[in-house]
C-alpha cells in the first residue's frame, strides 16, 4: 500500500438514515491508515455526526452550522490528507474493494478523474421508475465515462485544475468538465449503488432541482453543454428506431418534459433554487 491514505470527503446534511450504511461499506476490511474519510456534517439537526464518529479512526467528523454542500465540500477538501481523493454522497453505497480499484487507476498517472460504474437499486420500484432508468442508463452521459451522480475521484494532479468548489449545485458536472474525455474514466470492474426515488413524481421534482445545476453549467461551459444537448437529441432519435423501447421512452420523455415545465414554473416565481431532495431513497435499509 502507498504511504498516503485514500481520502474520501462526504458532505452530509441530516443523513442519519443512510450514513451508517455508507460508512460500513466503505470501511469494512480497511487496513490501518489506508483510508482518510472526512464526513462534513453541515447544518445537521439529527444524529448524523454521532453515528459517523462510531467509525473512527478511519472516519473523522467535521461539524459545520452552514447547510451548504459546496461549503461542506470545501471544508472536507481542506481537511483531507491524501490522494486519490473521492467525493461521495452519503446515500451512495460504495464498497471498499471498488474504492481500491478506482484509486489504482488514478495512481497509475494516465487518468486524472475517475468513477465506478453506476448500478441502480430498482428491486422495490414500480414499472414507471424502472422504465425511466432503462432509458437513462443508456444515455451518453452514463455510458461515456460518466464522472458523477453521487461519486467521483480525482488524482493529486487533477486536483490542481481548480482552486475551490464554486457555489453551484452541480459539483459533479463542474469537475467532469475540467477534464477532457481522455483524462477521465469510468472503471468497468468497479461499481457503486444508487437508490432512486420511489415514484415518478418524486423523480420529476428532484430533477427539476437538478435542472438548476444544468442551467448553471450552461452559463459556465456553453459549448460543452450545447454538445451534450445535441448528443441527447441524437440518442432519443436513435431509440425511436427501436419499437420495443417505445413504452419506456415515452415515460422518459414525459419525465424530462415535466421536469422542464416545473423548473420554468418555479423560475418564474423565483423559487427554482429552493432545496428539494428525495426522502424515499434515504429510508434505512
What are the boundaries of each domain within the chain? 6-197, 202-280
Buried b (16+ CB within 10 A) or exposed e, 5-19: bbbbbbbbbbbbbbb
- Do strands 151-154 and 85-88 pair parallel, antiparallel, or not at all (unpaired)? antiparallel
Give the helix ranges, DSSP H, for 114-273: 127-136, 140-143, 156-159, 171-176, 200-220, 222-239, 246-268
pLDDT at 1: 45
Report which of 210, 213, 206 is spatially closest to residue 166, judged by C-alpha positions: 213
> Above 90 in pLDDT, residue 142?
no
Give mean pLDDT, residues 99-128.
96
- Mean of the per-residue pLDDT values for the chain? 90
Distance of alpha carbon 196 from alpha carbon 215, whole angstroms: 22
pLDDT at 280: 65
> CA-CA distances (angstroms) from residue 138 to 130, 142, 223?
13, 7, 23
pLDDT per residue as tens digits for the range 184-231: 999 999 999 999 999 999 999 889 888 887 777 777 767 655 556 677
> Above 80 in pLDDT, residue 275?
no
pLDDT at 217: 73
Of residues 18 and 213, the one with the higher pLDDT is 18
Of residues 74 and 265, the one with the higher pLDDT is 74
Homologous superfamily (CATH) for 6-197: Spore Coat Polysaccharide Biosynthesis Protein SpsA; Chain A (3.90.550.10)
Amino acid at each position: 500500500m502507498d504511504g498516503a491514505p485514500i481520502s474520501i470527503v462526504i458532505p452530509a446534511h441530516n443523513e442519519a438514515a443512510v450514513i451508517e450504511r455508507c460508512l460500513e461499506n466503505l470501511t469494512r476490511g480497511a487496513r490501518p491508515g489506508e483510508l482518510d474519510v472526512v464526513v462534513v456534517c453541515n447544518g445537521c439537526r439529527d444524529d448524523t455526526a454521532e453515528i459517523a464518529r462510531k467509525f473512527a479512526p478511519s472516519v473523522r467528523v467535521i461539524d459545520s452550522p452552514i447547510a451548504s454542500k459546496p461549503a461542506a465540500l470545501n471544508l472536507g477538501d481542506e481537511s483531507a490528507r491524501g490522494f486519490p481523493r473521492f467525493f461521495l454522497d452519503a446515500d451512495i453505497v460504495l464498497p471498499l474493494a471498488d474504492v481500491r480499484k478506482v484509486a489504482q487507476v488514478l495512481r497509475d498517472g494516465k487518468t486524472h478523474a475517475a468513477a465506478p460504474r453506476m448500478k441502480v437499486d430498482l428491486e422495490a420500484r414500480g414499472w414507471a421508475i424502472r422504465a425511466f432508468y432503462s432509458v437513462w442508463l443508456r444515455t451518453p452521459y452514463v455510458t461515456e465515462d460518466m464522472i458523477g451522480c453521487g461519486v467521483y475521484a480525482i488524482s493529486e494532479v487533477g486536483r490542481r485544475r481548480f482552486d475551490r468548489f464554486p457555489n453551484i449545485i452541480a459539483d459533479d458536472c463542474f469537475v467532469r468538465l475540467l477534464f477532457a474525455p481522455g483524462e477521465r474514466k469510468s472503471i468497468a470492474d468497479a461499481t457503486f449503488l444508487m437508490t432512486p426515488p420511489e415514484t415518478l413524481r418524486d423523480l420529476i421534482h428532484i430533477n427539476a432541482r437538478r435542472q438548476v445545476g444544468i442551467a448553471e453549467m450552461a452559463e459556465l461551459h456553453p459549448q460543452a453543454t450545447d454538445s451534450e444537448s445535441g448528443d441527447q437529441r441524437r440518442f432519443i432519435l436513435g431509440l425511436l428506431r427501436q419499437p420495443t423501447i417505445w413504452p419506456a421512452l415515452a415515460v422518459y420523455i414525459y419525465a424530462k418534459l415535466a421536469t422542464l415545465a416545473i423548473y420554468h414554473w418555479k423560475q418564474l416565481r423565483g423559487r427554482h433554487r429552493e432545496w428539494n431532495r428525495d426522502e424515499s431513497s434515504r429510508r434505512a435499509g
